[in-house]
Amino acid sequence: MKRRSMCLVAGALALSSLVASSSDAALITNGDFQTGPAAGQSFAPASTAITGWTVIGGGGVERFNGNFGFPTWNVQLNPSPTAAFGGVRQTTNLITEVGVVYQIDIDFGARAEGADRGAKAVLTFGGQTFTLTDFTGTNNTSVYTHYTLLTAPAASTSTLFSVVAASPYVDAATTWKGVIDNVVVVAVPEPVSLGLLAVGGLTMLRPRRSVRA
């Protein structure tokens, strides 16, 4: 399965390639959504059935394993075209530290279902928000876009990690469910974070394509 890749840098950060080899304790529990009830189930707002996650928004979510062209386990945000957007937040209290750079990785895709579809969601972490968008590939195929996001919160905050479906990517007729998988958040260790902060004023958007096994 093909996967598009995007690297987005928030604020005064760049040089994301410097953090490719960084390692720190992951701050997200069950980011691959493998732990939880049986596949194909829907979960209403406030549900905590998916290990480590709480369902938010009015639309609820679904959890699948290898369905609709996406590999392995994933969570689908319901629905995109209406005002009742569904999403999830991490139940672990993630307290950010001032001056620490955090790297967020997430796969996001539009669920292909009978026609080309678009999807949009808003990811929030450390008081900052990021917009995720994706459109199904040629011949109505489900293709993840992989996002790598870098952020350095200006203040210590206990704001939880969350991602929720947003207003239509294109229009209500073609907008459908957004699918998320492989969520990872890590604190980038020094001195890499110092190098990132020293760049200043740069924002980078670098698309690339890769093949997912």
- What pLDDT sits at residue 169? 67
pLDDT in tens, 83-94: 678 999 996 667
Instruction: Judge whether 180 and 121 are in contact, CB under 8 Å.
Output: yes
Listed ranges 6-20, 161-175, 199-213; the one with the highest mean pLDDT: 161-175
For the 2-208 domain, the top CATH level (class) is: mainly beta
Mean pLDDT, residues 15-35 taken together: 66
The pLDDT of residue 135 is above 60: yes
**Domain boundaries of the chain, sorted by first residue:** 2-208
Q: Per the confidence metrics, is the pTM higher than 0.95?
A: no
Please write down the long-range contacts of 37-43, taking CB distance under 8 Å and 24 or more positions apart. Answer: 37/63, 39/63, 39/64, 39/65, 39/67, 39/73, 40/64, 40/67, 42/78
